[in-house]
Chain A
Amino acid sequence: MDAIILQVLNGLDKGSAYALIALGLTLIFGTLGVVNFAHGALFMLGAFCAVTLQKILSLSFTVEDPTQKDFLGNPLKVDTPYVVSWFGDATGNAILNWSVPLAILFAIPVMLLVGYVMERGLIKHFYKRPHADQILVTFGLAIVIQEIVKYFYGANPIPTPAPDAFRGSVDFGVMIGFAENQIIYPYWRLIYFLFSAAIIGAVFAFLRFTTFGMVVRAGMADRETVGLLGINIDKRFTIMFGIAAAVAGLAGVMYAPINSPNYHMGMDFLVLSFVVVVVGGMGSLPGAVLAGFLLGVLESFASMNEVKSILPGIDQIIIYLVAIIILLTRPRGLMGRRGVMEE
Chain B
Amino acid sequence: MLGLSKKDTTFLLIVIILTLATPILLQPFPENSALAQFNAGYPDLMQRFAIFGIFAIGFNILFGLTGYLSFGHAAFLGVGSYSVVWMYKLLSYNVVPGLILAIVVSGLFALLIGYISLRRSGIYFSILTLAFAQMSFNLAYSVLTPLTNGETGLQVYLNDPQVLMDESSPTSPHFFGIVMNESVKLDVGGWLFTFSNGYYFCAIIAIIVFYLSMRIFRSPFGIMLRAIKTNQTRMNYTGLNPRPYTLAAFVISGMYAGLAGGLLAAMDPLAGAERMQWTASGEVVLMTILGGAGTLMGPVLGAGFIKYFENIFSKINDNILHTWFAALPDGIEDAIVFLIHPFIGKGWHLTLGLMFMLVVIFLPGGLIEGGSRIWNAVTGKNRRKKHDAEHHPKPAPHVS
Chain B 138-174 residues near chain A, CB threshold 8 A: 138-139, 141-144
A143 partner residues in chain B, CB cutoff 8 A: 349-350, 352-353, 356
CA distance A267 to B135 in the complex (A): 16
Q: Is the CB of A135 within 8 A of B356?
A: no
- B328 in the interface (beta carbon within 8 A): no
| Partner-A contacts on B (CB < 8 A) | 67, 69, 116, 119-124, 126-128, 130-132, 134-135, 138-139, 141-144, 278-279, 282, 285, 289, 342, 346-347, 349-350, 352-354, 356-357, 360-361, 364, 396-397, 400
Q: Is the CB of A316 within 8 A of B124?
A: no
Q: Is the CB of A274 within 8 A of B127?
A: yes
CA distance A27 to B282 in the complex (A): 25
Q: Is the CB of B139 within 8 A of A141?
A: no
- Nearest to A131 among chain B residues (CB) is B400
- A165 in the interface (beta carbon within 8 A): no
* 7 interchain residue pairs of minimum CB distance: A130-B400, A313-B143, A143-B353, A147-B350, A316-B138, A140-B357, A144-B353
| Shortest distance between the CB of A263 and any CB in chain B (Å) | 10
| Shortest distance between the CB of B357 and any CB in chain A (Å) | 4
* Given A130-B397, A130-B400: A135 and B120 interface contact (C-beta under 8 Å): no
- A320 in the interface (beta carbon within 8 A): yes
B128 partner residues in chain A, CB cutoff 8 A: 323-324, 327
Q: Is the CB of A136 within 8 A of B289?
A: yes
Q: Is the CB of B353 within 8 A of A135?
A: no
| Shortest distance between the CB of A108 and any CB in chain B (Å) | 27
Write the A313-343 contact mask toward B (1 if CB under 8 angstroms, else 0). 1001100110110011001000000000101
* Given A141-B353, A341-B124, A343-B120: A136 and B360 interface contact (C-beta under 8 Å): yes
- A275 in the interface (beta carbon within 8 A): yes
Which of A133, A267, A278, A343 sits near B279, CB closer than 8 Å?
A267
Write the A234-253 contact mask toward B (1 if CB under 8 angstroms, else 0). 00000000000000000000
| Shortest distance between the CB of B390 and any CB in chain A (Å) | 19
Q: Is the CB of B360 within 8 A of A133?
A: yes
| Shortest distance between the CB of A87 and any CB in chain B (Å) | 36
Q: Is the CB of A132 within 8 A of B69?
A: yes
B142 partner residues in chain A, CB cutoff 8 A: 313, 316
Q: Is the CB of A316 within 8 A of B349?
A: no
* Given A274-B127, A320-B132: A313 and B350 interface contact (C-beta under 8 Å): no
* Given A328-B119, A343-B121: A323 and B127 interface contact (C-beta under 8 Å): yes
A328 partner residues in chain B, CB cutoff 8 A: 116, 119-120
- A187 in the interface (beta carbon within 8 A): no
25 contacts between A and B (CB under 8 A): A122-B357, A129-B364, A136-B289, A136-B356, A139-B285, A140-B353, A143-B356, A144-B354, A146-B353, A147-B353, A148-B342, A148-B350, A151-B347, A271-B130, A275-B127, A313-B138, A313-B143, A316-B139, A317-B135, A317-B139, A320-B135, A324-B128, A324-B132, A328-B119, A341-B122
CA distance A150 to B347 in the complex (A): 9
Main DSSP-derived SS at the A contact region: helix
CA distance A143 to B282 in the complex (A): 11
* Given A316-B139, A324-B132: A140 and B360 interface contact (C-beta under 8 Å): yes
CA distance A141 to B349 in the complex (A): 11
Which of B123, B350, B352 sits near A131, CB closer than 8 Å?
B123
CA distance A301 to B352 in the complex (A): 40
Which of B124, B138, B356, B400 sits near A140, CB closer than 8 Å?
B356
| Shortest distance between the CB of B145 and any CB in chain A (Å) | 10
- Nearest to B138 among chain A residues (CB) is A316
B353 partner residues in chain A, CB cutoff 8 A: 140-144, 146-147
Chain A 265-322 residues near chain B, CB threshold 8 A: 267, 271, 274-275, 278, 282, 312-313, 316-317, 320-321
- A137 in the interface (beta carbon within 8 A): yes
- Nearest to A311 among chain B residues (CB) is B143
- Nearest to B357 among chain A residues (CB) is A140
| Shortest distance between the CB of A278 and any CB in chain B (Å) | 5
A317 partner residues in chain B, CB cutoff 8 A: 135, 138-139
- A22 in the interface (beta carbon within 8 A): no
* Given A125-B361, A131-B122: A147 and B347 interface contact (C-beta under 8 Å): yes
| Shortest distance between the CB of B318 and any CB in chain A (Å) | 14
CA distance A84 to B144 in the complex (A): 54
Q: Is the CB of B127 within 8 A of A141?
A: no
Q: Is the CB of A331 within 8 A of B120?
A: yes
CA distance A74 to B128 in the complex (A): 65
CA distance A322 to B116 in the complex (A): 14
- Nearest to A275 among chain B residues (CB) is B131
CA distance A62 to B347 in the complex (A): 33
CA distance A323 to B127 in the complex (A): 9
CA distance A135 to B347 in the complex (A): 23
CA distance A274 to B346 in the complex (A): 29
A122 partner residues in chain B, CB cutoff 8 A: 357, 361
CA distance A140 to B285 in the complex (A): 11
| Shortest distance between the CB of A134 and any CB in chain B (Å) | 9
Interface centre among A125, A142, A150 (most CB of B within 10 A): A150
Q: Is the CB of B361 within 8 A of A274?
A: no
B346 partner residues in chain A, CB cutoff 8 A: 150
Which of B127, B141, B361 sits near A137, CB closer than 8 Å?
B361
A142 partner residues in chain B, CB cutoff 8 A: 353
Interface centre among B120, B347, B397 (most CB of A within 10 A): B120
Which of B67, B131, B361 sits near A324, CB closer than 8 Å?
B131
- A35 in the interface (beta carbon within 8 A): yes
CA distance A190 to B382 in the complex (A): 64
A137 partner residues in chain B, CB cutoff 8 A: 357, 360-361
- Nearest to B348 among chain A residues (CB) is A147
| Shortest distance between the CB of B298 and any CB in chain A (Å) | 15
CA distance A267 to B277 in the complex (A): 11
CA distance A129 to B347 in the complex (A): 30
Interface centre among B67, B124, B128 (most CB of A within 10 A): B124
| Shortest distance between the CB of A41 and any CB in chain B (Å) | 10
Which of A133, A321, A327 sits near B124, CB closer than 8 Å?
A327
| Shortest distance between the CB of A334 and any CB in chain B (Å) | 15
| Shortest distance between the CB of B125 and any CB in chain A (Å) | 9
Q: Is the CB of B350 within 8 A of A141?
A: no
Which of B130, B352, B400 sits near A132, CB closer than 8 Å?
B400
